[in-house]
Structure 1
Amino acid sequence: MATIFSNALEHTAQAVTSWAEKWFPDAYIFAALAVVVVAAGAWFMGAPLTQIGIAFGDGYWSLIPFTMQMAMVAISGYVLAVSPPAAALIARLAKLPRSGRSAVAFVAMVSIIASFISWAISLIFAGLLVRALARRTDLRMDYRAAGAAAYLGLGATWALGLSSSAAQLQTNPASLPPTLLAITGVLPFSQTIFLPQSMLLALIIMLVSICIAYFSAPRDANASTADDLAVNLDDTPETTDIDRPGDWLERSPLLTLLIVALGALWIWHEFSSKNPLIAITNLNTYNFVLLLFGMLCNWRPQRFLRAVTQSVPSTAGVLIQFPLYGGIAFILTKAGAADGHTLSHYLAQFFVTISTHSSFPGVIGIYSAILGFFVPSGGGKWIIEAPYVMQAAIDLKVHLGWAVTVYNAAEALPNLINPFWMLPLLGILRLKARDIVGYTFVQFIVHVPLVIFLLWALAGTLSYLPPAMP
């Protein structure tokens, strides 16, 4: 039976990958088509074309801060990884797996565990681990399957950990919009991500994901290695001896040490004044820490700058595609029909209307997954839909903390096939979305029914939790 299951997963993954390599468009085309679909939906709901165009233009630059943060995630992670100390650490970890399939499962495990602390750490570290594993000459690992495994932290579990934007927003009354605070009150982590049911859900998803990653990975004979895919794995920045006196500072660690010392003062203040696990989930803090470590580990400014130069091409997809999703979000939330309501409002109202106490987790989970396909932003999307969803949870006497978990678990589902969040990882791996989507799609078709069922089944073990006002 296990052999039949393994063969079925492997053949399905290979079939979908073969299809994707031929038919799946570049991630930019995917984003552009999403713009057209959402614009058409808003127009069909009654929004004037002029208003749709204005919303698209207004939203196009709305994700610029986040775009820069994501670009820096790729740059800072790469810079640190190619430094001698970090490269040595990752290389030691890469020696642990004994087969190509176990290497893929190992990457999946590392990615998922790291995602409970920070999705950014998960994405970058797992991606760099894949590259290190791919350099092993004694291991025939499918590079595409390993790349898909590196994505599982963000594609399956990140929102069930400390990175959960919705859980973080709900635990901090200062961050919640007044209208939402008046509906839900404050929900501490103990009622959301640290609920026993939420942790059980995360554990089940993690184990299932690792198993699928292992059994869907091609065996040695069918594996496509990085060499087979013509992927350049050379991460070592070239060093050139410069003898001109004016270039002395480029080769001296003096400026590096001064800048790192100055930054260390801020880091000490940040982590001593906040919960360290919460502080590191802030993208600005994460990037700052990673970049300073990158400077320090590269030691000389010359080497650091060469690493930055080599990392920049990996940010191209982020820089050109994220603005399109900013436009999509504004069309969904700003382009109103004659009654002033937007497409996101109509979608939320539809799913809330057809919900009952028992069906609420499954129905809202499906809605959240659908909207997440077009608005791939955990915190931003929660602000959009939470007023409708949480009010419905109160009316139907559903545990409010579990309603947040429903959102968290379902929100991650479209990530498995949406290229949006893949872009920084793809830049590091030097692959395209179509290279890994066959393997993430196998995860997707298993996760959707499993997650929706668990959200419904575990909801039955919880009693109604009324709002707790600050």
Structure 2
Amino acid sequence: MMEQHSGVFERMAIRISNWSEKWFPDSYVFALLGVIIVAIAALLIGAPAISISAAFGDGFWSLIPFTLQMTMLIVCGYVVSVSKPVEKMIRGLAKIPKDGRTAIVMIALLSLLISLIQWAMSTVLTALLVIALAKRKDLNMDYRAAAAAAFVGMGATWALGLSSSAAQLQANKDSLPENIYQLTGVIPFSQTIFLWQSIVIVLVLIVLSLAIAYWSAPKGPHVKTMLDFGLQFDEESLTTQPNKDQQDVIKRPGDWLETSPWLTIIVSVIGLFWIYAEFTTKDPMIAISNLNTYNFLFLILGLMLHGTPRSFLNAVYKAVPACSGVLIQFPLYGSIAYMMTKAINVEGHSVSHYIASFFVSISNQETFPVIMGIYSAVLGFFVPSGGGKWIIEAPYVMQAANDLKVHLGWSVQVYNAAEALPNFINPFFMLPMLGILKLKAKDVIGFTVTQMIFHIPIVLFLLWLLGRTLTYVAPQL
């Protein structure tokens, strides 16, 4: 009976994936549509066209610090994941499981835990683990279910951890657009991801995700291995080691410097001294909530793990294409946020004001987390960008939270928990992992949809239940 239901879920998911792959354009197109829709909405409320145009231009560069920070987050996470020491660790982990199902559970657990620390690293590292496990013919591991397990952290826990774009943004005044800062003030990690209520959600989702990963994994004749896909992976590494034919070239000073670890060692030591001072002179919770410090930790870690400048740069070159969406879309999100809040009509109201008023009219203090959770999850399918989408939503979400006297930090967590859910069915964030595994979204989405079906009611229930234990605190400006 369970296998019949699993088959129904999988067929439904594949149809959704096929439809989205055929009809959904690149997320950049959605950013452009967002600009147009908000501009029209501003005109409809009576805002002058010149005011709308000014808001668009003023907001375009408002997220430059945050854009660079998110770019560095992606690059540093990738660089750490493909280093030689991590590669050796993956090979060691691949020897542990005794059968395909336990291998899939191990992949899922790693994905869930690492995504709490660094979401970009979780998708790359777990994809490499899938390949290492798939090469073990004795496991008879389903390659599709393993790939879905490698991605489960992006749909379950990533937005509730340290790399949460919304939580990081709210904890850093220098990264916050002024219009959002005036609504929320700085919200430290202690009021978002480190709330005991947030930790409860994380623990529940980890247990739930692992159980689903285990029971939904095919077994026996239903298993489809890597060989069934006709895939082979050669032993390769992003690090570059000189071979015998290159020895005479390495004698040149420039090439010797690229392949020598000494420059990396010196720079890493300097960086480690700074990190030590940062965490010993400040509250560690405040230090780690600084996105610059957070990225710097992974940058130094990447340098040390790669050893030589050449190895490090090779990894960076591979990581940069994954940043293209952030670089071109985040400026547009900044423009959208400004048009929503700064383009006002003769009554002094903006688009953001009217949207916030609508949510206040259909919500109360108790129902707000559920209503906003559903809304954020639906919007997340069309605008797959955690940090960028928060810039769009925050003006009216946090205004409504202030009006209804809902805990502001919990409002951020409502967004975080719900925003991650559509990742289970949206191919956007799957692309780096699928590229490594040489699969298509429709190959794995049957298993991720199964996860999502169980996650949605649990997440919404917990957001409502745990939200009742918190009281409102006015913004600290």
Change (3 A) 1:114 1:3: same
CA offsets per residue over residues 104-139 of structure 1, 9 Å max, x none?
A: 433332222233444455455434434544554555
Q: C-alpha separation between the residues in 1 aligned to 2:35 and 2:231?
A: 33
Q: Which residue of 2 aligns with 1:243?
A: 248
Change (3 A) 1:419 1:49: farther
Q: Find out whether 1:292 has 2:300 as its counterpart.
A: yes
Q: C-alpha separation between the residues in 2 aligned to 1:413 and 1:29?
A: 21
Q: Which runs of 5+ in 2 are unaligned?
A: none
Deviates more, 1:414-423 or 1:253-262: 414-423
Q: C-alpha separation between the residues in 2 aligned to 1:185 and 1:309?
A: 37
Offset of residue 361 of structure 1: 2.7
Q: Which residue of 2 aligns with 1:107?
A: 107
Aligned partner (choices 287, 308, 322) of residue 316 of structure 2: 308
Paired residues of 1:99 and 1:141 also in contact (CA < 8 A)? yes
CA offsets per residue over residues 310-355 of structure 1, 9 Å max, x none?
A: 3334434444444444444344344444544333332221011221
Q: Which residue of 2 aligns with 1:393?
A: 404
Q: C-alpha separation between the residues in 2 aligned to 1:191 and 1:105?
A: 31
Q: C-alpha separation between the residues in 2 aligned to 1:366 and 1:453?
A: 11
Alignment of 1:288-437 (within 5 A): 288-369=296-377, 374=383, 376-377=386-387, 380=391, 383-385=394-396, 387-394=398-405, 402-417=410-425
Offset of residue 69 of structure 1: 3.2
Q: C-alpha separation between the residues in 1 aligned to 2:456 and 2:309?
A: 47
Q: Which residue of 1 aligns with 2:229?
A: 228
Paired residues of 1:20 and 1:435 also in contact (CA < 8 A)? no
Question: Which letter does structure 2 place at the counterpart of 1:65?
Answer: P
Q: C-alpha separation between the residues in 1 aligned to 2:294 and 2:232?
A: 28
Q: C-alpha separation between the residues in 2 aligned to 1:411 and 1:232?
A: 34
Question: Which letter does structure 1 place at the counterpart of 2:229?
Answer: D
Q: Which secondary structure state, in structure 2, belongs to the residue aligned with residue 406 of structure 1?
A: helix
Q: Which residue of 2 aligns with 1:96?
A: 96
Q: Which runs of 5+ in 1 are unaligned?
A: none
Question: Which letter does structure 1 place at the counterpart of 2:248?
Answer: D
- Percent identity, aligned pairs only? 50
Alignment of 1:447-466 (within 5 A): 447-460=455-468, 462=469, 464=471
Change (3 A) 1:73 1:430: farther
Offset of residue 213 of structure 1: 3.9
Aligned residues: 466
Q: Which secondary structure state, in structure 2, belongs to the residue aligned with residue 341 of structure 1?
A: coil
Change (3 A) 1:358 1:270: closer
Question: Which letter does structure 2 place at the counterpart of 1:87?
Answer: E
Change (3 A) 1:239 1:118: closer
Paired residues of 1:118 and 1:281 also in contact (CA < 8 A)? no
Q: Find out whether 1:16 has 2:27 as its counterpart.
A: no
Q: C-alpha separation between the residues in 2 aligned to 1:238 and 1:315?
A: 23
Q: Which secondary structure state, in structure 1, belongs to the residue aligned with residue 157 of structure 2?
A: helix
Question: Which letter does structure 2 place at the counterpart of 1:160?
Answer: L
Q: Which secondary structure state, in structure 2, belongs to the residue aligned with residue 448 of structure 1?
A: helix
Paired residues of 2:402 and 2:474 also in contact (CA < 8 A)? no
Q: C-alpha separation between the residues in 1 aligned to 2:303 and 2:237?
A: 16
CA offsets per residue over residues 181-226 of structure 1, 9 Å max, x none?
A: 9988997766654555443333223333333444555667464749
Offset of residue 290 of structure 1: 2.7
Aligned partner (choices 272, 293, 300) of residue 264 of structure 1: 272
Q: C-alpha separation between the residues in 2 aligned to 1:437 and 1:52?
A: 40
Alignment RMSD = 4.3
Q: Which secondary structure state, in structure 2, belongs to the residue aligned with residue 255 of structure 1?
A: helix
Q: Which secondary structure state, in structure 1, belongs to the residue aligned with residue 349 of structure 2?
A: coil
Q: Which secondary structure state, in structure 2, belongs to the residue aligned with residue 243 of structure 1?
A: helix
Q: Which secondary structure state, in structure 1, belongs to the residue aligned with residue 96 of structure 2?
A: coil
Paired residues of 2:185 and 2:475 also in contact (CA < 8 A)? yes
Q: Which secondary structure state, in structure 2, belongs to the residue aligned with residue 73 of structure 1?
A: helix
Question: Which letter does structure 2 place at the counterpart of 1:92?
Answer: G
Change (3 A) 1:120 1:452: same
Deviates more, 1:411-420 or 1:287-296: 411-420
Offset of residue 90 of structure 1: 2.0
Paired residues of 1:69 and 1:284 also in contact (CA < 8 A)? yes
Deviates more, 1:436-445 or 1:109-118: 436-445
Deviates more, 1:301-310 or 1:214-223: 214-223
Offset of residue 87 of structure 1: 0.7
Paired residues of 1:376 and 1:420 also in contact (CA < 8 A)? no
